[in-house]
Amino acid sequence: MIGAKKRSQNFSGLVRKLEADINNRFPNISNSIQSINIDSSPISGAVRSAGVFINVDSKVCTKDISKEHKPAVRTEIPEATKKYIDKTMDALIKKGVSEEEAEKKVKDALVPCMGYDKDSGQYVVSAMPPLKEGATYDSILERTSIPMWNIGWLTKIFKQPFATSHAKNLVSVESFSNPWADVIGVFKESFEGYGKLSNTARGNFKQNNSNPVTNEASTIVDEVYNISVDYESDIMEDIKANQAGNFITGQIKADREKYAMMILDRMQDALIYFGDKETGILGLQDVAPVEVYADTPLYEIFTGNDATSGAKIVKAMNKLIGDFLRQNHYMARELKINVSEYAFQALTQALYSDQFSPASPIKVLNGNFKAQNELDGGLVQCKYTIVSDTMCNPRTPFNPSDYDIAFMTVPTISDALTGEQSSLVIHPELLKSYMIPALWQRSGILYTMYRRVGGILAPIEGTVKTVMGLGVQLN
């Protein structure tokens, strides 16, 4: 469920795109995640003061529960069960069975059960005698069940892999000064005025008629949005996690929290790339005009029959990168590029020349744009990175067109006034993770993980470029 409490609209467009994207990427999400939400409502003082965990940096949050609480579950053995244990143990020992073996046989025969004690408000875990005298419910022979003590386990869990999104590679994630603010802002400074050339050293009309240098400050402000994920911790999992030798249940519980964090990352990356006009969140494709690539897409060159396909891809990328650097007057000292899987395959697997050079285009580009400390008397050369991201592919919920998308940002420049400026493309992240109070559900505890973010802030013009159809243009 995704919606807004503060605004009149329900963000239905963003609802469909986020849910479609997450369900496509994580088809089993309903087994672990209860709901996904986004809104711009202020976080109330009651929720702020009652949280059990807060994190404003990039670390994965760790669940923390107050130590002063009444246990939700207690273990209790009824008198009837105790009498059955004593009676059966004595009978087995009289038959010559060792005490250790007799104890094991009795425990294997017990039937586990659980109930709720409304007086104490606790769940009670217990055991009762077998319904059939002499039956064993943890046996190789009966019911074909194999007891845990008779299985050798590899203490390693193979987890379902997920492709990582790299939207944060393009931006500087900033926390700002107030994690609970509903509006964030940055300052800009502009200058005007000029000097003059004169051969006089005394005051006269020409000297007094100069334009004095002045400067002024302005601001950019944006709204803060809350994105959150609900997930549940089952009571029986807590019970099983405390069993000796059970290494898997505790790991599964911890992975559910990491999974929730991954869902938040996915939602955040989608907003960094694409923003959303319905909510007013600005993404990278909103802060600069989107350019449609007019030449042959890289993947089409790669899959063609040209013996010098790699050279043509290098030429295309040289022009694309060179034009962007020239438009920034070659002040850029760092350039970051995220492309689709189609474009990345062409860049990494095409041959520069089938006959003369097996080097890939990206290897040649690394030489062309290799970062150096100094070049030709002190000029610093621009360094760059190219990363593949599935979110840049065509025909996805956020990019339904037949063209893929490439994003380019300049996070660092060198200028005459300050020497160097960095963090020029900002993504506000006021809270990395915030755990609001746990709520009791019928079968366990419901946790909600919050993250507070804003839209893209790009105070310097020309630091963002978006290109459609660079890698592939599907029919």
Give the pLDDT confidence of 277-327 residue by residue, as tens digits.
877 889 999 988 899 999 999 999 999 988 889 999 999 998 998 899 888
Which one of 44-53, 189-198, 418-427 scores highest in mean pLDDT? 418-427
Selected residue with higher pLDDT from 36 and 62: 36
pLDDT at position 370 is 56
pLDDT at position 442 is 60
Give the pLDDT band (50/70/90) at residue 438. low
* CA–CA separation, 44 and 229 (whole Å): 18
Selected residue with higher pLDDT from 422 and 386: 386
Which two three-digit tokens encode residue 165?
Answer: 């999104």
End-to-end CA distance of the chain: 35
Give the pLDDT confidence of 145-186 residue by residue, as tens digits.
555 556 666 777 888 777 888 999 999 888 887 888 888 888
pLDDT at position 340 is 95
pLDDT over 60 at 8, yes or no: no
Give the pLDDT band (50/70/90) at residue 198. low
DSSP string, 165-233: P-GGGGSEEE--S-TT-SEEEEEEEEEE------S--S--HHHHT----EEEEEEEEEEEEEEEEEEEE
pLDDT over 70 at 143, yes or no: no
Give the pLDDT confidence of 225-256 residue by residue, as tens digits.
888 888 777 766 766 666 666 677 777 777 88
* CA–CA separation, 149 and 404 (whole Å): 54
pLDDT at position 171 is 92
pLDDT over 60 at 69, yes or no: no
DSSP string, 354-380: TTTB---HHHHHHHHT---S-BTTTBP
The domain locations on the chain are 12-57+159-277+432-453, 73-150, 289-424+459-473
* CA–CA separation, 240 and 442 (whole Å): 18
Are the C-beta atoms of residues 244 and 455 closer than 8 Å to each other?
A: no
* CA–CA separation, 396 and 392 (whole Å): 9
pLDDT, average across residues 382-392: 89
Task: Give the mean pLDDT of the chain.
Answer: 76
pLDDT at position 296 is 94
Give the pLDDT band (50/70/90) at residue 217. confident
